[in-house]
Each structure stands twice: as C-alpha cells, then as structure tokens.
C-alpha cells in the first residue's frame, strides 16, 4: 500500500468508522451493480455484476474500507476510495471504460424510495467556497495555480485546458490542431476580425488571445490566476511584438472589468462563477458589450432537471478539483440572459460533448505517460490517482451524454 501523506490528505488517510452505514452501502450497491455489465471482484474470489469475463472489472482491494467510505458519503466516498487505493481496475480494464456503465445508469443506481431521501444525506456547498471576489480568487488558485509545468506535461502546445473540436473524418488529428479549431470556432462566433475590440474573460495560458491578435484584433484578456498570467505574458512576448502589442492582460476579476467591446469571449469559465453570481456575470457582459456586438462562450452543461437536483449539493469534483464550481443547464443560461441583460439571447450553438470525451482521453494518456515528470514537481501517488479519476470520471460523463459542452453565440435581439 502506498503511504498517504496525512497532512496533505486528511480525508483519505483516515477510514470512516461507520459500520452501519458501510453495511447499508453494501446492501444498496450489490443489486445496483448486478444490473450493470461490469464485474466487481473481491479478494476472496467473490464477484458481483452482470458482466461476463470480458466486462470491465472493478477490483476491490480493501472491501471494508471501500464500503465504509461509500457509506459515510456516497457522492464523495467512491472517488476517495479510488484515491486511497481501496479499489482499482482489473489488469485489462480502462478506468473510463469501467466508469461509463455507471454514468449511463447513474440516476437508476439508487432505488427511488432512497433517492427521495437524498436531501437528508446531501452535503450543501461549504460557505467558504462562495464565489465572492475573494472566494473566487481562492477557488481559482486552488486548481489553476497548482503548477504551470504540471499542466504542460499533458496539455498540447497551445496549453488549452478545455474541450477541443475534432474533425471526425481525421481519426489521427493532433490535439493541437483540434484545439486551434475550437478557438477559431469561438472567435468566428463572436465575429472577431481585424480591428475588433475583444474582451476575453478567463485568459487561461493565452492561446485564444494570441489567435485573436493574429486576426488583427485588439485584445483585453482578464484573469485572477497569477500563475497563468505569468506564463501567458511569456507566451505573448514569444509571439513577437506585433502580437504582444495587441494584447492587454489584466489581473482583474470579471466584476471589475471596464470598457466597451465589440466581442466578448469566454471559454469554460462560467462553471467557476457559481449560481449566485450568474446574474452578475451576464449583467457585466451586457454592460461591456458594444451595440451590435456579439458574445461567444464555451460552457459545460447538464440537463436542467439534473441541475435543479444537484445545484446545492457538494460532490467529489467540488471537494478535490473545482471548489465553488457548478455546471449550468442551457435553460438556466437562457433564464439569466432574459432576466439580467438588455435583450441578449442565444442565437447559435454547437455541441462538443463527444469531442470533450476524446480530449479527456488524450489528456489522461499524456498525464499517465508523463507521470515521472509530474512527480518531479512535488506531486504524490494520491494526487496521481485523484487526477486520473477526475479525467476518467469526466470522460465517462461526456461520452454518455450525462454532461455536455456547447459553444454558444449570444446577441441582442434586433
């Protein structure tokens, strides 16, 4: 068993002491797994699941600890058990392949009578993760300030950390080419051409700003991640003075942005805004958009009924990956536009859900292949299992359609 650092992973190093809840978790999981084409195997040779010998295998290493974590917190314990090494995949099973059957039936795993009691066991979002100005900075730093070098080990040369847009007719297309297509899709949707005044909310590591400047646009890009900003500035300088002179990077919260822009773009940033601040986010976009301008955002989404069910609950992703994060529905976006802008509405959309599944698979393959390099930056085995689970978990969600991602064009009603 790999040693777990107690100071860094206090929620992982200790196994909950909840024997009654552990038995209840076992009682619920067994019939659920027996309806899924997987194999859940135990050290003593016992197995659950309806899958045959070639089905994805979930191998319980420490069953007692696994069920204890699952019983203590169903939404968080499953991922924590993987981080702790309480379970793993079979030798011939890919992690996302195993998680996919669960994602396909996630709403059917728990009996309806117990689903109605979820309000009694769901943990609410911690107040500390609210996306106030100070809270947003803390939440963003927790993820994006991990290490630029770490992200570089698995991202493509553009350093794009969002869904790519692949050409389905080119199965061997590079990730970099697909990411540039994604960026061009956003810029095209916002009508970015020579002389366009562009505001980018969420700079990332600068690839979109460079691409817009290459079109001759004047770009203001804002971020609250100091680590990303530092590398983005280096990349702007490396692109040459003709590009760098067209880009103004500001360390500023979107709520404090000023100016007037012909195009406003934002890629997978709305998920970090938080439901409480969506009205502020869209009202600010509306305030800064010039007459006749266009907005293009890339947003991860989920079905509206799932959003309504989960919007106030606290899950594994929020605890370990994106504190303060919340995925909207398309309906929630439409409602906020209608209520908090002067006529902005969605006038075009394009789904990249399956492209995201492919992107995540490529990231995970690169991350695992580069683990020795990642490890050199101070990351331990528990982090590796956490990151692997995060990438595979998201891949399964997109591949099954449980979550989606859209490029959305917005304009004011004529």
pLDDT, residue 125, reads 65
pLDDT, residue 124, reads 64
Same domain, 227 and 282: yes
Same domain, 221 and 335: yes
Same domain, 111 and 169: no
Same domain, 230 and 96: no
* Whether pLDDT at 111 is above 80: no
According to DSSP, residue 150 is labeled: H
Mean pLDDT, rounded, for 264-276 = 96
pLDDT, residue 109, reads 56
Q: Which long-range contacts (CB under 8 A, 24 or more apart) does 128-136 make?
A: 129/318, 129/323, 129/324, 130/274, 130/276, 130/324, 131/272, 131/273, 131/274, 131/276, 131/277, 131/324, 133/253, 133/255, 133/256, 135/324, 136/224, 136/253, 136/272, 136/324
Please say whether the beta carbons of 26 and 48 come within 8 A: no
Residue 253 lies in a domain: yes
Distance of CA 119 to the CA centre of its chain: 25
Mean pLDDT, rounded, for 330-342 = 98
Total domains present in the chain: 2
Cβ atoms within 10 Å of 258's Cβ, excluding its own? 11
Q: Indicate the residue among 103, 121, 139 that finishes a domain.
A: 121
pLDDT, residue 2, reads 64
- Look at 119-133, 168-182, 213-227 and tell me which has the smallest mean pLDDT: 119-133
Q: Indicate the residue among 121, 155, 181 that finishes a domain.
A: 121
pLDDT in tens, 282-327: 999 999 999 999 999 999 999 999 999 888 888 999 999 998 889 9
Q: Could you tell me the pLDDT band of residue 128, with boundaries at 50, 70 and 90? A: low
Same domain, 308 and 356: yes
Q: Could you tell me the pLDDT band of residue 112, with boundaries at 50, 70 and 90? A: low
Q: Indicate the residue among 77, 102, 121 that finishes a domain.
A: 121
Range of the domain at 108: 10-121
Same domain, 116 and 133: no
- Look at 101-110, 149-158, 202-211, 398-407 and tell me which has the smallest mean pLDDT: 101-110
Helix (H/G/I), strand (E/B), else coil: 309: helix
Same domain, 228 and 249: yes
Same domain, 159 and 284: yes
User: What's 36's domain CATH number?
Assistant: 3.30.1050
DSSP string of 194-222, one letter each residue: TT-EEEEES-TTSHHHHHHHHTT-EEEEE
Mean pLDDT, rounded, for 328-343 = 98
Same domain, 135 and 111: no
Percent of residues, the chain, with pLDDT higher than 70: 94
Mean pLDDT, rounded, for 225-232 = 95
Same domain, 305 and 361: yes
According to DSSP, residue 149 is labeled: H
Q: Could you tell me the pLDDT band of residue 107, with boundaries at 50, 70 and 90? A: low
Q: Which residue has the higher pLDDT, 257 or 6?
A: 257
Q: Could you tell me the pLDDT band of residue 3, with boundaries at 50, 70 and 90? A: confident
Contacts of 308 (CB under 8 A, 6+ apart): 329
pLDDT in tens, 22-65: 999 999 999 999 999 999 999 999 999 999 999 999 999 999 99
Residue 162 lies in a domain: yes
pLDDT, residue 306, reads 92
pLDDT, residue 312, reads 85
Residue 2 lies in a domain: no
* Whether pLDDT at 10 is above 80: yes
Residue 5 lies in a domain: no
User: What's 169's domain CATH number?
Assistant: 3.40.50.150
Residue 3 lies in a domain: no
Same domain, 26 and 164: no
Residue 4 lies in a domain: no
pLDDT, residue 121, reads 52
pTM score of the predicted model: 0.94
Sheet holding 261-267, edge to edge: 247-251, 218-223, 197-201, 261-267, 289-302, 403-412, 344-351
Same domain, 384 and 301: yes
Please say whether the beta carbons of 95 and 111 come within 8 A: no
């Amino acid at each position: 068993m790999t040693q777990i650092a107690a100071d860094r992973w206090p929620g992982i190093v200790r196994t909950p002491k909840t024997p009654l809840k552990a038995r209840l978790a076992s009682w619920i999981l067994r019939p659920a797994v027996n309806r899924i084409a997987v194999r859940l195997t135990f050290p003593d040779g016992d197995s659950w699941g309806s899958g045959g010998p070639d089905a994805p295998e979930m191998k319980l290493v420490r069953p007692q600890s696994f069920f204890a974590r699952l019983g203590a917190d169903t939404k968080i314990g499953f991922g924590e058990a993987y981080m702790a090494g309480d379970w793993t995949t079979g030798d011939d099973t890919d992690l996302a392949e195993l998680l996919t059957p669960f994602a396909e039936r996630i709403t059917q795993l728990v009996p309806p009578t117990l689903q109605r009691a979820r309000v009694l066991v769901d943990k609410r979002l911690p107040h500390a993760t609210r996306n106030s100005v100070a809270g947003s900075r803390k939440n963003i730093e927790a993820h994006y300030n991990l290490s630029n070098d770490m992200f570089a080990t698995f991202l493509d040369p553009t350093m794009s950390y969002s869904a790519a847009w692949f050409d389905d007719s080119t199965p061997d297309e590079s990730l970099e080419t697909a990411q540039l297509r994604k960026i061009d899709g956003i810029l095209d949707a916002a009508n970015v051409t020579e002389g366009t005044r562009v505001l980018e909310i969420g700079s990332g590591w600068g690839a979109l700003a460079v691409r817009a400047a290459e079109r001759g646009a004047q770009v203001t890009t804002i971020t609250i991640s100091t680590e990303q900003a530092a590398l983005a500035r280096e990349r702007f300088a490396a692109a040459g003075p003709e590009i760098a002179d067209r880009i103004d990077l500001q360390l500023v919260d979107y709520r404090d942005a000023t100016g007037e822009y012909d195009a406003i773009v934002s890629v997978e940033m709305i998920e970090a805004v938080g439901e409480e601040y969506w009205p502020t986010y869209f009202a600010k976009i509306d305030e800064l958009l010039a007459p006749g301008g266009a907005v293009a955002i890339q947003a991860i989404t989920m079905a509206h009924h799932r959003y309504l069910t989960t919007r106030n609950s606290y899950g594994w992703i929020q605890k370990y990956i994106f504190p303060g994060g919340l995925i909207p529905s398309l309906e929630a976006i439409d409602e906020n536009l209608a209520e908090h802008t002067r006529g902005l509405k969605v006038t075009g959309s394009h789904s990249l859900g399956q492209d995201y599944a492919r992107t995540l698979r490529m990231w995970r393959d690169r991350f695992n292949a580069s683990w020795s390099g990642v490890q050199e930056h101070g990351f331990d085995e528990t982090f590796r299992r956490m990151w692997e689970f995060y990438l595979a978990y998201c891949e399964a969600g997109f591949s099954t359609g449980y979550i989606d991602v859209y490029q959305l064009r917005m304009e004011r009603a004529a």
